[in-house]
Amino acid sequence: MNTMTLWHITHWEFAALAAAAVLVGFSKTAVSGANTVSLAIFAAVLPARESTGVLLPILIAGDVLAVLTYRRHAHWPTLWRLFPAVAVGVVVGTVFLVWADDKVVRTSIGAILLFMAGVTVWRRRRAEAEAASESEDDEPDAVSTPAGRLKARSYGVLGGFTTMVANAGGPVMSMYLLSAGFRKLGFLGTSAFFFLIVNVSKVPFSAGLGLIDGHSLLLDASLVVFVIPGAFLGKWAVSRINQRLFEQLVIAATVVGGAQLLLR
């Protein structure tokens, strides 16, 4: 793997990676999609392509903490509906990584994220005219219609593709869960299990591509501890964020992440 070892990273670079790891923990338990900033930091400090392999175990650690925190709020019918399409997206993303360079990857994903954010804002504005329940644990809108199944498959493929090529599936799936009408806790519980399962399944693909090796795992071991305070900070913050602000923060994080990928 053509990346820097722990000993080649300066103190300032390590501090930046540690801050990104804290943000991963925060995003997993509070504002999903915010870890696109972590993606940008890792890609700035490490070689962009190889940074995805270093970041993956950090994301898995955050996923485990999120599952432990929100496991009672997952909506499994939605997860089972998404997984087949996501598997297709992961395979397509693996093939894409074989030939695509960093610029093509960043531009493609950045454009997808901004498009998804725009679609979600449009859909949410239309939905504001409808009465919404205030319960935190309400189930999402029915998605068993043909249109709902098509939407789940489309977002699933995009989510699998973006999570494979750049660990950037969070914003895509955030847009899907918001558009499906998930409330805050259901959103976090469903996304926690989704990304734990998907990210673990990506490990053999990433290792096969040479993106995970002994050097990257050593760097991960020194960074994973920073995920924990971020997760606790997110758990503290999410109970103080109302539903409307929560949705606005998720969409804003998606726009920022997409713009960063396009402008790099």
Q: Which range, 29-33, 105-109, 202-206, is most confident? A: 202-206
Whether residue 4 contacts residue 211, with contact meaning beta carbons closer than 8 Å, is answered with no
* 16-30, 131-145, 189-203: the lowest-pLDDT one: 131-145
Q: Give the mean model confidence (pLDDT) for residues 67-80.
A: 90
Helix axes of 146-166 and 76-99: crossing angle, nearest 10 degrees: 40
**What whole-number percentage of the chain has pLDDT above 90?**
24
Judged by DSSP in three states, 112 sits in: helix
pLDDT tier for residue 252 given thresholds of 50, 70 and 90:
confident
Q: Give the mean model confidence (pLDDT) for residues 163-172.
A: 76
Helix axes of 35-45 and 11-29: crossing angle, nearest 10 degrees: 160
Alpha carbon of 40 to those of 15, 69, 216, 263: distances in Å? Answer: 14, 26, 17, 11
* 119-123, 157-161, 187-191, 206-210: the lowest-pLDDT one: 119-123
What's the rounded Cα separation, in Å, for the pair 33 and 7?
Answer: 30
